[in-house]
Chain A
Amino acid sequence: MTRMAILLNVNGEEFPLDVEPHRTLLEVLREDLSLKGTKANCQEGECGACTVMVDGLAVNACLYLAVRADRKRIVTIEGLVGKDGLHPLQEAFVRHGGVQCGYCTPGFIVSAAALLQANPHPSEDELAQALVGNICRCTGYVAIRQAVRSVAGSQEAGS
């Protein structure tokens, strides 16, 4: 099985890797780069726990081949740091009770960060549209909406 040489740019750092083409970005992030913050389960793009940003767009890493991620700008939850060590979304999720078991949290925060980067002042509909691909079984989404709303429209939203 031929391995392919790729260069992954993850959270601003470059990683030259040799990967078999069938490996997904999710597997490579978690297993080869030990970045466990991006979570795994359904393997069919239904739960969104594996959401990462590729060139600013939220994607399901479980359905994204690692070889396709060559030379793209990948951002995971580990890369979402702000001025004081926390991204405003991370801080908001803590404050508003948007974290219970927390397994869906990295995926949600990355999806929300991608939204706010592109659209700092989303409408309620745009907010929902951006986040319906992330499933939470604990919070009922109420506190998550509150957390994202609190950041949207604030000065730091676009960072």
Chain B
Amino acid sequence: MIRFEFHEPASLEEVVALLDHYGEEAAVLAGGTALLIDMRHGERQPGHLISLWGTPQLAGLRWNGGLGIGALTTVRQMADELESVQPMRGLVEAARLLGGLQVQNVATVGGNLCKASPGADLAPPLLVLDATLRLRGPGGERTTPLEGFLTGPDRTDLRPAEVLTEIEVPELPPQTGTSFLKVMRRHAVDCSIVAVAACVSLAEDGETASQVRIALGAAAPAPFRAKRAEELLTGAILKPSLAREAARLARDEARPISDVRASAEYRQMLVEALVERAVLLAAERAKAAQERQ
């Protein structure tokens, strides 16, 4: 039977204090869409839910050179507010493909990351944006890169009684384009079989890629950056043949599993196909950004 005490503290300090007090017995309630399902399946049985909704300041976007995304921002809110911010297109596309609208309206950015599903759709686009996480715990505040924070299926580097408060995206170079591609078993509302995000920034000459980042989802125990593929492309002109070669490298970096959705082999084929496309699409968007200036 699902039974818990519900707490909705009015300050972040209190949130942390309660998490600290109840320890393993406590779970954070953000959107709750994943948590409630886990509780129904018996995978999590917290005796105490600590709601973050008493601290609504944790939601919202804040621009200060870079972008700060409050952890409690709903997926929908984030997508709507970033709709016209061209360099963030990949992140917006990922948000729009995260379940149906009913889920997007309730699920939060922070929740998607902290649930740490290997296919967490917001992880790849935030990884390629080089996101950093701001966390608050009993010892105070710390920041840590998103890269390395997701350590395995449903596992993160979150320390005891720690809460994710904000996701920071550093300012992007002027000629930057991002993309996000996801293959599912149907045309909407599904976990990724494989997801790929890419971020390409062009140098002043408008041709050379000064920075290329590629992240894969559902292709390993946690979403990760395909560094070898990135290395090949950084400083190069992104011709299709080079993108294809990078895609092959990315395929070899992936460590997908076979599960009820797909086989490991198929996932590897998808990584290859999607990385090539995602990189070229991001490059195309970077070019378009340049042309707008």
Interface string of B88-130 (1 = CB under 8 A from A): 0000000010011111011000000000000000000000000
**Chain B residues whose CB sits within 8 angstroms of the CB of A57 once the complex forms:** 76, 105-106
Known: A45-B102, A59-B106, A133-B99. A64 touches B32 (CB 8 A): yes
Contact between A132 and B32 (Cβ–Cβ < 8 Å)?
no
Known: A45-B99, A64-B32, A133-B189. A59 touches B105 (CB 8 A): yes
Contact between A130 and B99 (Cβ–Cβ < 8 Å)?
no
CA distance A67 to B51 in the complex (A): 10
Contact between B99 and A63 (Cβ–Cβ < 8 Å)?
no
Contact between A63 and B5 (Cβ–Cβ < 8 Å)?
no
Contact between A2 and B5 (Cβ–Cβ < 8 Å)?
yes
State whether the Cβ of A68 lies closer than 8 Å to any Cβ in chain B.
yes
**Chain A residues whose CB sits within 8 angstroms of the CB of B101 once the complex forms:** 58, 111, 115, 129-130, 132-133
Q: Is the interface of A mostly helix, strand, loop or mixed?
A: mixed
**Interface-lining segment among B19-27, B33-41, B204-212, B263-271:** B33-41
Q: How many B residues touch A, CB cutoff 8 Å?
A: 26
Closest to A128 in B: B188
Instruction: From B3, B105, B188, name the one whose CB has the most chain A CB atoms within 10 angstroms.
Output: B105
Q: How many A residues touch B, CB cutoff 8 Å?
A: 31
A-B contact list, 27 entries, CB within 8 Å: A2-B5, A21-B6, A24-B36, A43-B40, A44-B37, A44-B40, A45-B100, A57-B105, A58-B101, A58-B105, A60-B33, A60-B102, A63-B36, A64-B32, A65-B6, A67-B6, A68-B29, A68-B53, A128-B188, A129-B96, A129-B188, A132-B188, A132-B189, A133-B99, A133-B100, A133-B102, A133-B189
Q: Using a CB–CB distance below 8 Å, which chain B residues touch chain A?
A: 2-6, 8, 29, 32-33, 36-37, 40, 49, 51, 53, 76, 96, 99-103, 105-106, 188-189
Closest 5 CB pairs of A and B: A133-B100, A21-B6, A132-B188, A57-B105, A60-B102
